[in-house]
């Protein structure tokens, strides 16, 4: 962390720390959680009802959130909050069930793949048990099925199928009137997630066509190719949804653009941040003023606005810390910031910025 609070503002910072400690939810939650973890108020608690193995490295967790949770649309994500050895961890996952399950039975599912070396996914697979309670944020994201009914092509890779499972089920329940095709790329047949659900949808709905393509069954990998796309009827008229590893998404995007698919027809989502842009350290850093809190912080190096706000004792809303969930978006009232992911430099005036991926370039003022 390369931010320090200016000496003249230290008293304001101390005042903020004291007022944070007086947040009644922060004070009472540890006490109420000890009595009943479903009573906490700072996030929505959800009890684990069932855990099902999908593949050797993927499980579906059926959860019952507290009634106050706000629901979701098919294709959206949420952040889970768990404590591992006393440290709060937050991660983003997509909902794999349809909103109808939440509306009718108060249940949702998250389908989660174990990542090699992944702290949270390994903990979820090895330590989370039926009856345990985890925290949830509200759902977010704009990877949504079209409002206007059009033919649809889904292209999924590996665990990128999870939001698409929710979308397919929702479309089937609503008798979606247009053709829907899924190209699903997996390493081997054993890696298909949601196998039974997909087979049942394909059997019940003649307008749903499913093509599972294995990429690693021979010594030469078999990735998405021209034939896969050219065999899709009426490709040019389709809304196209991509979710999977970056390599698949980049390849699909390039091939679709070669076929004159417009940017507005393409919808994509991912959970791994793109590689950061190269930003010269001489171009960044500056004083950041948090106007509503009457605080200023000096930064050097590549500290982002979220890190600087937290160093000042503020607790802005945030989720993924990767530029994906947009929960940290707030208003910059003046000054210039650099986008950590794209290297793009903002304008000098008032605009929305994502705190977790914005680095000040000279003095910046924020409305928090
Ligand atoms: S915390 Fe998710 S985009 Fe910033």
Asked if pLDDT for residue 182 goes beyond 70, the answer is yes
**What is the pLDDT, as a whole number, of residue 271?**
55
308 contacts 3 by C-beta, under 8 angstroms: yes
* Pocket test residue of 78, 274, 354 for ligand 1, highest count of atoms within 8 A of CB: 354
pLDDT tens-digit map of 192-248: 999 999 999 999 998 999 999 999 998 899 999 999 999 999 999 999 999 999 899
Return d(Cα 65, Cα 122) in angstroms, integer.
22
Q: Is the dihedral of CA 93, 96, 98, 102 positive or negative?
A: negative
CATH 3.30.420.40 is right for the domain spanning 276-366: no
The CA 126 to ligand 1 mean position distance, Å, reads 27
The CA 106 to ligand 1 mean position distance, Å, reads 27
For 152-269, CATH number?
A: 3.40.50.80
pLDDT tens-digit map of 144-180: 998 899 999 999 999 999 999 999 999 999 999 999 9
Instruction: At 161, list the tokens.
Output: 């199928």
69 or 272: which leads in pLDDT: 69
Q: Which fold has domain 40-136?
A: Elongation Factor Tu (Ef-tu); domain 3 (2.40.30)
Q: Is the dihedral of CA 57, 58, 62, 63 positive or negative?
A: positive
**What is the pLDDT, as a whole number, of residue 300?**
65
> CA distances (Å), 146 to each of 140, 202, 240, in order?
16, 20, 10
Q: What is the mean pLDDT of the chain?
A: 87
Return residue ranges of the chain for CATH 3.40.50.80: 152-269
Asked if pLDDT for residue 39 goes beyond 90, the answer is no
Q: Does ligand 1 come within 6 angstroms of the Cβ of 330?
A: no
**What is the pLDDT, as a whole number, of residue 41?**
64
* Pocket test residue of 315, 321, 330 for ligand 1, highest count of atoms within 8 A of CB: 321
Instruction: At 98, list the tokens.
Output: 């349809």
**What is the pLDDT, as a whole number, of residue 22?**
45
Q: Does ligand 1 come within 6 angstroms of the Cβ of 319?
A: yes
Q: Does ligand 1 come within 6 angstroms of the Cβ of 318?
A: yes
* Ligand 1 atom index nearest CA of 318: 1
Return residue ranges of the chain for CATH 3.10.20.30: 276-366
Return residue ranges of the chain for CATH 2.40.30.10: 40-136
**What is the pLDDT, as a whole number, of residue 246?**
84
């Amino acid at each position: 962390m390369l931010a320090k609070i200016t000496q003249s503002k230290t008293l304001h910072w101390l005042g903020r720390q004291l007022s944070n400690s007086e947040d009644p939810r922060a004070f009472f939650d540890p006490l109420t959680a000890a009595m009943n973890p479903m009573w906490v108020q700072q996030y929505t608690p959800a009890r684990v009802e069932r855990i099902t193995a999908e593949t050797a490295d993927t499980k579906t967790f059926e959860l019952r959130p507290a009634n106050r949770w706000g629901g979701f649309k098919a294709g959206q994500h949420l952040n889970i909050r768990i404590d591992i050895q006393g440290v709060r961890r937050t991660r983003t996952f997509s909902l794999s069930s349809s909103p109808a399950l939440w509306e009718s039975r108060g249940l949702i599912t998250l389908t989660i793949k174990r990542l090699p070396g992944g702290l949270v996914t390994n903990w979820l697979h090895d330590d989370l048990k039926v009856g345990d309670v985890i925290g949830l944020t509200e759902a977010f994201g704009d990877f949504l099925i079209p409002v206007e009914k059009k033919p649809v092509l889904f292209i999924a890779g590996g665990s990128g199928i999870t939001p698409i499972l929710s979308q397919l089920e929702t479309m089937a329940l609503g008798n979606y009137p247009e053709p829907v095709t899924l190209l699903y790329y997996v390493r081997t047949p054993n890696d298909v997630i949601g196998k039974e659900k997909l087979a049942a949808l394909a059997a019940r709905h003649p307008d749903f066509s499913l093509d599972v393509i294995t990429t690693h069954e021979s010594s030469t990998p078999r990735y998405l190719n021209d034939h896969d796309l050219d065999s899709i009827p009426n490709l040019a008229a389709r809304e196209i949804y991509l979710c999977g590893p970056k390599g698949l998404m980049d390849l699909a995007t390039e091939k679709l653009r070669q076929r004159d698919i417009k940017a507005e027809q393409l919808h994509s989502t991912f959970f791994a941040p793109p590689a950061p842009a190269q930003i010269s350290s001489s171009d960044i850093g500056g004083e950041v003023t948090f106007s509503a809190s009457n605080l200023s912080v000096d930064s050097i190096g590549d500290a982002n606005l979220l890190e600087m706000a937290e160093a000042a004792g503020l607790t802005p809303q945030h989720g993924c810390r990767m530029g994906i969930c947009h929960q940290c978006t707030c208003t910059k009232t003046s000054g210039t910031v650099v986008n950590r992911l794209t290297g793009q430099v903002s304008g000098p005036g008032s605009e929305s910025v994502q705190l977790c991926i914005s680095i000040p370039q000279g003095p910046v003022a924020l409305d928090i």
